[in-house]
Structure 1
Amino acid sequence: MTHALHGHGLQRRHLAGAALLLLAGCGGGNTEKDEDAVAPSLVITSDVPGDATGPFTVRFTFSAAVSNFAANRILLTNGALGGAALVKLSDTVYTLQVTPTANRQDVLTVEVPAGAFRDAGGTASSLVAYRFSQRIDTVVATNEPVLTITNSTAANIATGPVTFTFDFSVDVGDSFAAGDIEPDAGTLGSFTKVSATRYTVVLTLPAATSGLMTLTVRAGAFQSATGVPSQQTYTTAILFAIPV
């Protein structure tokens, strides 16, 4: 459900699981370069509908092509940029992995300040700042197993089958299985238990396709050998461009 509050240049929209705040400067004058110019607008969303318990992906969708949007123009509170850089999916869509501050129950904010981007025609983003809020819960229970996910792609772009490695901080016994791994594209193949703390799986993506693939391991999917379950949801993302 979307609610709009109008008054003195302020709009507030509440989205499911998060909030998008558009802050517009007050005043009676025109804030655009000229009366007919249309500044690009921005919608910020995440791939986590509820509380984020680990790294998650933020998506920036612009109303027109932008040419100078970069990670250093994004401000974060209660979080940090993830391992991957800002990913350009198209002229109007970018994604970024964000890591919430550890051991905290709070709100992570992502802000793109006023004037932080321009469209292809050189129109500034006027005096509008865009802010997105995501609830986070990264409090770790005592002896909770922690997962680190890596992959075999070069430069984080897959052109063929990808091997994902799952490294656990403690012995998880046989509690982790292929069914606990959820890719949003492709097919899981060989699943191997390398040791009590390491597993691997091979993901094959469809031929003649490209895009962004996100892989998720949800909270509670595994537990330590002593019976302490995971409380965090883990996600990782890669770009892929599979030839025919």
Structure 2
Amino acid sequence: MELPRLALVGYGRMGREIESLARRRGFAVTAIFSRSRPLTSVQELTEADVVVDFSVAEAVPHTAQLALQAGKRLVIGTTGWEAYREELRRQTDAWGGGVVYASNFAIGVQLLYHLVQQAARFIARMPDYDIFLHEIHHRHKRDAPSGTARKLAELILRELPRKRTASTATEGPLPEDVLHVSASRGGEVIGTHTVYIDAPGESVELIHRAKSRESFAAGALLAAQWIASRQGFYEFSDVLRALLG
């Protein structure tokens, strides 16, 4: 299968990691856009097949609009743009485009999502078991909790009716129907997400610990290769289900 040509939007830690891995794997990187060289027109995307966006949340609507207008497929790894998601879905359908998005493109995180969803469903019948989660990232990260933590909370709330809402509150007693989501920022931690299941006589911890950013880059490249010849609006989990059958 011919590899798609890539345009990268965002050239921070993840942008550089994606460029490095893409070139090592034989992808052509036709353009790189950053704060010092922003994407401003559809003409700048002419040579690309797929636009890969790991920039900042506020830039996603602009990037998506230009990519769709240019007839390019789009992979979004930026977090914090969830309020725009349904509008982007509508625009993708209107333009006949193709988009894959994820709060985390690591394959291991997709496995964590699956395990946590199953665990929440399991303890739904066991009222003595509580569940909560904590994430740790480097001190430079813009959002807290992380997009991955918010996705984990969404999955838990979907499967565990006794938890009605998620909260990051750190003061006072926590009501039983609240799922606690906490975050720490410090050092250069790439990302650690832990889901705790606690009962009077035992506890279980489900942990994903990123050892390098290459795992995120590999997933993004897999998504780019998959969406290059497709239309529609997909989460990365949809891509994996399609590939794994």
**Greater gyration radius:** 1
TM-score, with normalisation over the residues of structure 1? Answer: 0.27
The structure in which a higher percent of residues are helix is: 2
Greater relative contact order (CA < 8 Å, ≥ 6 in sequence): 2
TM-score, with normalisation over the residues of structure 2? Answer: 0.27
The structure in which a higher percent of residues are strand is: 1
